Chain A
């Protein structure tokens, strides 16, 4: 590289002119993107900062959402992502384990699973919402009501359980990809050593592979939570509510969600100017939540990648 650069430096400046021009042009494109991000974030931080305090985070909305806080929305979002994590992490980790540890090389099934994961990642969020309504609520929920409650409406309606399951499907690819990367980072010699001692495949996975992969699995789970906390379209029809006086206590109740709260307040508030300060602060809380999660995940992932490079 150094030699090549020396040659480049010796070239006449005129020959380098197009290079300089296009290099600057691509630099400007990068600058535009960075600028857009900073403008969006800056605007929200500047307008939202003033109201974010403990009271705002721990109180319910009052006076038609022009006063008070956002506690029910935070609580709902939190419950949603906990339920979602319970569903998606075991499923995602098992899928990654199958693809990386169990399946024979060049297996048709693995190719098919990979294809399904890639396509699942590209399905629009709103389509997941439709699916949640058509499958979880109308099919499974109605089925449960007919079978167990004699047709009484218990589960065949929007509920936090269905929203969480819908969200789990949406975030499955995130968890699978991160877990697979973690599995790839474990040196093959670990597995070989354990097998050489006579351990079965499951013993190798439980005692050697999984403990080593915890970081990567955690990354996937955190990224999934961050995605799940911010998505609105899948929960609009599957469980999120406009406003609820009480916190949800059971799985078949509706809940308030931060993102949906933002959407509702932005588009359906009778007087936008009055709700604006609270709205900005809600958006800021949502942003800080997702960024904190993303940041943690990125830090863990960077550590794993470093380990991967050193292992090679």
Chain B
């Protein structure tokens, strides 16, 4: 930090000094407690790494029998999970039927449909709103919009799910006359409510990271505010916007309660956005409670969990790599 810090604020130091001086009366115990504390604190800091590794190990461990156990591979081999089955329907997720069927493709289709709809709705809205608050909005509008989005971030996902199921689904079906009340579009719209805050926050951070001098330079050259926003601010913050999209996608793919309540939970392999869907996360949530520990169904559910974990882990790494690039780029620029 600054070398002149001590000299520049003499008044601030006084209370800190008084409280720091008193313990020195018994200095001998100080060194021992200092050592103990520093070990304890370092151990605690490592717990974050340890728990991430433990998550990986323990979910991986329960997912592994899908590859290794001969017994489970009879029912849920990789071929069964991803290739068409012998009997029609070719792709079926029927874990509790006579001979259980474990095709993951209907679930994958459902997950992708809901995620894509959510992301397509949320990203343009959230980035536009972030651009508005950081570049165009008068300060009263900014002071209003930002807390509202923080409010949105604080709504528990089960409440959003409740709203989609009880209210939104009825409205949409009434307006468009869909066959299924609960479908990919309802779930996707609900999901977008969970994605908007994260994309908005990241995008706004990215815009704020663009140095003021960039904007002033552009305005001084005679560019309008829109030209400045479009030609200067957006390109300068592009890495941050990419991070916002990637992290928003990661959030959408793992979100559980909203899709569990609003998607209809029918594992149908189709492309239509108005069919009911069943997603990976909702499948785990709906089925893990009743499953026999150690059965093939149990291990397939953990396999899905491991897949979700790896996928969100990678989107996170990619997102934070983008943010790091943005910071390096803009720090180099000033």
* Interface residues, chain A, with chain B CB atoms under 8 Å away: 1, 3-5, 7-8, 11, 15-16, 18-20, 22-23, 25-27, 29-30, 32-34, 36-38, 40-41, 43-44, 90-91, 94-95, 97-99, 102-103, 109, 112-113, 115-131, 133-135, 138-139, 169, 172, 176, 187-190, 192-194, 196-208, 211, 226, 229-233, 236-237, 259-260, 262-263, 266-267, 272, 276, 279, 283, 286-287, 290-291, 294, 298
Contacts and interface: CB of A to CB of B under 8 A. Distances in A.
Given A123-B55, A123-B254, 13 more contacts: A16-B226, A23-B225, A29-B125, A29-B132, A38-B148, A124-B253, A126-B281, A126-B305, A130-B59, A135-B58, A194-B17, A236-B285, A262-B158
Interface string B145-174: 101111110111111111101110000000
A136 B41 CA distance: 23
Given A15-B224, A124-B254, A190-B13, A33 B20 contact: no
Nearest to B224: A19
Contacts of B226: 16, 18-20, 22-23
A99 B41 CA distance: 10
A192 B5 contact: yes
Nearest to B60: A134
Interface stretch (B82-90, B94-102, B270-278, B306-314): B306-314
Contacts of B20: 193-194, 197, 199, 203-204, 207-208
A169 B51 contact: yes
9 contacts: A33-B200, A37-B148, A130-B302, A134-B59, A193-B17, A205-B37, A229-B156, A233-B256, A263-B158
Interface of B: 1-2, 5-6, 8-9, 12-13, 16-17, 19-24, 27, 30-31, 33-34, 37-38, 40-42, 44-49, 51-52, 54-55, 58-59, 61-62, 124-126, 128-129, 131-133, 135-137, 141, 144-145, 147-152, 154-163, 165-167, 193, 196, 200, 216, 219-220, 222, 224-227, 229-230, 247, 250-251, 253-257, 260-261, 281, 284-285, 288-289, 293, 301-302, 305, 308-309, 312-313, 315-317, 319-320
Contacts of A260: 158
B156 A26 contact: no
Contacts of A196: 6
A66 B9 CA distance: 64
